Amino acid sequence: MRLTSIKLVGFKSFVDPVTVPFDTDMTAIVGPNGCGKSNVIDAVRWVMGESSAKYLRGESMADVIFNGSTGRKPVGQASIELIFDNREGKLGGAWAQYAEIAVRRLVTRDGQSQYFFNGQKCRRRDIADLFLGTGLGPRSYAIIGQGMISRLVEARPEELRATLEEAAGISRYKERRRETENR
Ligand code: ATP
Ligand code: MG
């Protein structure tokens, strides 16, 4: 499974539609301070369901929407789509049949988010479910942000355990059990 591209529209500094391709095994994004490198990482976290504005370096969810610059008016919505090559079928039990998986999140100024799976509207939960146990997800160890190593070193035992459980692939089953028990 690999991330093959990210499509950004109206997200933070990416006002015009842009596709960032990841054609090779390693991709480096370089550029001057403030050009939007970290915004790309925020986009990946956000589309996977991150619900804390703080984790996206903003104050409210609407802060992810392009809010204008000299000569450009703010826009009303932001959208990010991640495209995965899933030919090995590693993503999503029932969804393993799809060779390509596209996950999209759209937010409007009222703070309402909509999620899409291969173009079809779905729930945030479906997206969370898709990534559980794969090592991907909004707070996953697959994205190592600034300060994350020291947070892990200083983590409380239960936080450390959650990370290990996700890495071992058992968080998906724990979540299912929790849901069953709550029924
Ligand atoms: P550094 O090298 O300093 O880490 P960077 O390339 O990671 O820089 P980012 O933090 O990704 O830069 O981008 C910051 C830029 O994004 C700033 O110029 C900021 O004004 C812009 N930005 C963030 N949110 C929005 C928004 N909602 N609308 C418009 N621009 C935004
Ligand atoms: Mg940065």
For 158-179, write each residue's pLDDT tens digit.
Answer: 989 988 888 887 887 888 888 8
The whole-number pLDDT of residue 116 equals 97
8 Å CB contact between 94 and 172:
no
The pTM (predicted TM-score) of the whole model is 0.85
| Beta strands across the sheet bearing 120-122 | 18-21, 2-9, 77-85, 100-108, 113-117, 120-122
C-alpha to C-alpha distance for 14 and 176, rounded to whole angstroms: 37
Give the residue, by CA position, lying nearest to ligand 1 atom 9: 36
- 37 Cβ below 6 A of ligand 1: yes
Residues of the chain with pLDDT under 50: none
- Reference 75, options 22, 12, 27; nearest CA is 12
- 13 Cβ below 6 A of ligand 1: yes
Place of tokens 């200083």: 154
The whole-number pLDDT of residue 51 equals 81
- 145 Cβ below 6 A of ligand 1: no
